[in-house]
């Protein structure tokens, strides 16, 4: 009995704790040259969680510091506000997806093995639906169960109605493969609006990869960015991001693989250059990339409110191409987020000290559980945030027995303890909520990663094996 309880407790503990209790020692995770992208994905997903927490519970912090109605908290300042600027992070994630999905086929193309390139594309096409939609089916079903248990909002009258509603949302919103860029705002978890966009643009990447197998290297080098630019010119920001990610993968391979045929991006003349000019060139390059990152991080602090009245952002607002303004302010910011995201992903792979941070074990762990964090953070917050954060107290209104009398409400939770009347109180409440709820979100995400996400990856491989001749 004690052994069973021990196994159960180990199974329910986060992996970074349970692995240390393993008699065989902690698991070793293999690093690869693009592991920094996994770390970047983890940090991006963490910021998305901070964003949704802030927007749902402390929306007053979404204004810019110098906005007319700003509360004056220091995290509303440029660069500080990046910690909860989750909207541009989605675009960084899409660019990384384009990179990751195209890297293996492009590697085979560079190696001259066209058969393996086609096989890699076919393999990805077969596995992608299971990999993307499978975890979402499980997570939203859990939301249905929580609804029926009375732990979330009001459930439907009958279980059959609830299940039908859930199946409709799956088929017409979350697993809907035909939506290119529109926010479907799916029921049961609104944060899954990115999933159909991720799926259909994954298919776009695979479609573009097919002719790239047989074209000349120069045509591929020119053709991929031309397709990306055409997507942006047409107002399809997501198409631009995925294809731009493919272009970054092409550049990465040209720089890091032994070149056959066409020269890589690094000139052969550098082999004969003395060490001093190379050091100078490296310093100048790092300086340029760092300044570019600072500009991009400033853009990524785009305020949710009063954006068209905030200096600098008003200028960007007015400079946006007309085809990227059709669907309003969110389309406008997505245009600029797509450009800044492209530079961020590229620069993070070029600056060594940033790569070392992204390759740290903590960043790598966050990258492994990032998809699970993205999927579960919404339902977890919906279950616990009202009880954890509570509310401010309200005094009685009127006198007992009079019309309109209200006895008042006692303060509760974190907001009731710290208050929300001054910038310092708002900051303390915001931070305390993250400290209390963050570990819960990551604990649930870790369980979801081990018992849902990883099995779905294995299921996708089995489906592929069953389908291929």
How do the domains of the chain map onto residue ranges?
A: 33-255+283-389
Query: What whole-number distance in Å separates Cα of residue 428 and Cα of residue 468?
Result: 56
Report pTM: 0.89
| For residues 360-381, average pLDDT | 95
Contact (CB, 8 A) for 23 and 30: no
**256-270, 366-380, 451-465: least confidently modelled range:** 256-270
Instruction: Calculate the alpha carbon distances from 116 to 73, 112, 254, 264, 420 in Å.
Output: 54, 9, 18, 22, 59
pLDDT tens, position by position, 208-223: 999 999 999 999 999 9
Tokens 């953070």 -> residue: 377
pLDDT at 75: 87
- Specify the range with the lowest mean pLDDT, choosing from 29-38, 48-57, 316-325, 360-369: 316-325
User: Which pLDDT value is given to residue 369?
Assistant: 95
SS3 label, residue 397: strand
Give mean pLDDT, residues 123-147.
Answer: 95
What is the structure's pLDDT at 423?
Answer: 87
Angle, helices 87-110/329-348, rounded to nearest 10 degrees: 50
Per-residue pLDDT at 449: 95
DSSP string, 294-322: HHHHHHTT--SSSGGGSTTHHHHHHHS-G
Per-residue pLDDT of 290-308, as tens digits, reads 999 999 999 998 887 776 6
Average pLDDT of the segment spanning 464-468? 91
Banded model confidence at residue 263, pLDDT cuts 50, 70, 90: very low
**What six digits make up the tokens of 420?**
């929300």
For residues 133 and 175, the answer to whether their CB atoms sit within 8 Å is: yes
- Geometric angle at alpha carbon 377, from 376 and 383, rounded to 5°: 95
């Amino acid at each position: 009995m004690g052994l069973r309880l021990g196994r159960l407790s180990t199974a329910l503990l986060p992996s970074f704790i349970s692995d240390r209790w393993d008699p065989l020692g902690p698991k070793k995770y293999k690093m690869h040259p693009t592991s920094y992208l996994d770390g970047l994905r983890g940090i991006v997903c963490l910021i998305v969680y901070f964003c949704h927490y802030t927007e749902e519970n402390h929306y007053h912090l979404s204004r810019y510091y110098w906005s007319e109605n700003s509360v004056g908290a220091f995290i509303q300042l440029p660069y500080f506000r990046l910690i909860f600027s989750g909207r541009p992070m989605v675009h960084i994630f899409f660019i990384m997806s384009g990179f990751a999905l195209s890297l293996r086929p492009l590697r085979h193309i560079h190696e001259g093995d066209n058969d393996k390139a086609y096989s890699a594309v076919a393999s990805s096409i077969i596995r992608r639906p299971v990999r993307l939609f499978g975890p979402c089916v499980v997570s939203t079903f859990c939301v249905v169960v929580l609804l029926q248990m009375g732990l979330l909002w009001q459930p439907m009258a009958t279980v059959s109605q609830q299940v039908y509603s859930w199946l409709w949302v799956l088929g017409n919103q979350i697993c809907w493969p035909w939506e290119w860029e529109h926010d479907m705002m799916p029921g049961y978890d609104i944060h899954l609006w990115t999933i159909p966009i991720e799926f259909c643009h994954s298919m776009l990447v695979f479609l573009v990869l097919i002719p790239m197998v047989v074209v000349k290297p120069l045509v591929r080098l020119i053709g991929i960015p031309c397709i990306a630019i055409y997507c942006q010119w047409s107002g399809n920001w997501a198409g631009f991001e995925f294809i731009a990610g493919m272009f970054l993968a092409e550049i990465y391979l040209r720089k890091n693989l032994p070149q056959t045929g066409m020269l890589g991006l690094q000139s052969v003349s550098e082999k004969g250059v003395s060490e001093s000019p190379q050091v100078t060139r490296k310093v100048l390059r790092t300086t340029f990339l760092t300044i570019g990152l600072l500009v991009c991080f400033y853009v990524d602090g785009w305020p949710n409110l009063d954006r068209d009245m905030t200096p600098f952002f008003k200028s960007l607002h007015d400079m946006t191409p007309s085809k990227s303004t059709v669907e309003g302010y969110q389309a406008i910011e997505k245009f600029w987020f797509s450009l800044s995201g492209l530079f961020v992903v590229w620069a993070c792979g070029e600056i060594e000290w940033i790569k070392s941070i992204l390759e740290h074990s903590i960043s790598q762990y966050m990258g492994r559980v990032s998809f699970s964090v993205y999927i579960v953070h919404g339902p977890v917050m919906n279950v616990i945030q009202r009880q954890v954060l509570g509310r401010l107290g309200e005094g009685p209104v009127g006198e007992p027995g009079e019309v309109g009398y209200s006895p008042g409400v006692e303060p509760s939770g974190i907001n009731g303890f710290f208050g929300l009347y001054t910038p310092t109180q708002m900051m303390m409440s915001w931070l305390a909520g993250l400290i209390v709820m963050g570990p819960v979100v990551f604990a649930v995400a870790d369980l979801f990663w081990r018992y849902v996400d990883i099995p779905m990856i294995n299921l996708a491989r089995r489906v592929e094996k069953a389908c291929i001749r």
